[in-house]
Structure 1
Amino acid sequence: MVRPRNTSRQGEAGFSLLEIIAAMLLLALAFGAVMHVAGAATEVTGHARELNRIAMLADATLDAIGLREPLREGMQEGTYDTRHRWRSVVSAQTPFPGQSPDLRVYRIDLDIFWRDGTAERSAHFATLRLQDEPRPASSTSVAGP
């Protein structure tokens, strides 16, 4: 006996229009999430780059303070460029127990300010610096006049 061929399309494989639309919607949502993550990563990278630049400026400024002339208590201000400015405060610290009388300890506080869009941001750096300050020689000499 020969079976008759079924002419209906019940056994055909494929996707319906609704399944294709759902798959494209999921693809669009996944693509949007990936683009959001990529944008956030770009923003974080830019922020890290700016903070790295601030740290390098601070390092150079702290190295220069007390290099040309001896450290003295007080405040100094300056600018790096149109966006970045700095302020340093040098203050003498109390001597440590057993510290040589010829040595002075100074604390240097450095603040760097910059504009990030409409907000002003700042970073604070502090360090201690040791400076040799010999006492002035007395006017009388052991060898005589």
Structure 2
Amino acid sequence: MRYRTVARGFSLLEVLVALSIMTFSLAALYHAAGGGVRGVGESEARTRALALALSVLDSRTTVPPGGGDDTGEAAGLRWRLTARPYATGREAAPGWPLYRVEAVVYWREGAGERELHLTSLLPERSAVPGAR
């Protein structure tokens, strides 16, 4: 009587296929997790830039006659504030000239530089009684 031996276990080919599937799965998981961490960092930088731009705009309630420019740096971010006469295409109300005020915040992200723009309208300082 002859007994047949049945091979038990995995062949080398099956092991290699399983390892390659696991490698691709782990690579995809690593890439997805890395993208999430990068997104959090970008969101945090954009939030800081937005807070600074709002702060710079809120620090001004009026604009000196003729407008002007101002620059500064805070918390590793650079900012620029410009004020130019606002042209409506119609004649402005007497005594209330408006200025288009734009705050731009710059920051480094990766190999490049990013920027955020916020714009508002403010009255001229001389037109507002008691303004400083």
TM range (shorter): 0.7 to 0.9
More moved, 121-130 vs 94-103: 94-103
Q: Give the Cα separation in 1 of the matches to 2:86 and 2:17.
A: 70
Kindly indicate whether residue 18 of structure 2 is the aligned counterpart of residue 23 of structure 1. Answer: yes
- Structure 2 gap segments, 5+ residues each: none
Q: Is it true that 1:78 corresponds to 2:78 in the alignment?
A: no
- Secondary structure at the counterpart of residue 27 of structure 2: helix
Change (3 A) 1:34 1:53: same
1:86-139 superposed Cα distances (whole Å, 9 cap, x missing partner): 11111122367475313222100111122234533322221222468169xxxx
TM-score of the two chains, using structure 2 as the length reference:
0.77
CA distance in 2, matches of 1:37, 1:45: 13
Amino acid at match of 2:63: L
Percent identity reads 25
What TM-score does the superposition give when structure 1 sets the normalisation length? 0.71
Q: Paired residue for 1:138? A: none
CA distance in 2 between partners of 1:91 and 1:57 (Å):
21
Root-mean-square deviation (Å): 2.6
Task: Answer 1 or 2: higher relative contact order, Cα 8 Å, separation at least 6.
Answer: 2
Unmatched tracts of structure 1, length 5 or more: 136-145
2:35 equivalent to 1:40 = yes
Q: Which has the higher helix share?
A: 2
Q: Aligned pair 1:55/2:50, yes or no?
A: yes
Instruction: Could you list the structure 1 runs, at least 4 aligned residues long, displaced by more than 6 angstroms after superposition.
Output: none
Q: Tell me the CA shift for residue 80 of structure 1.
A: 0.8
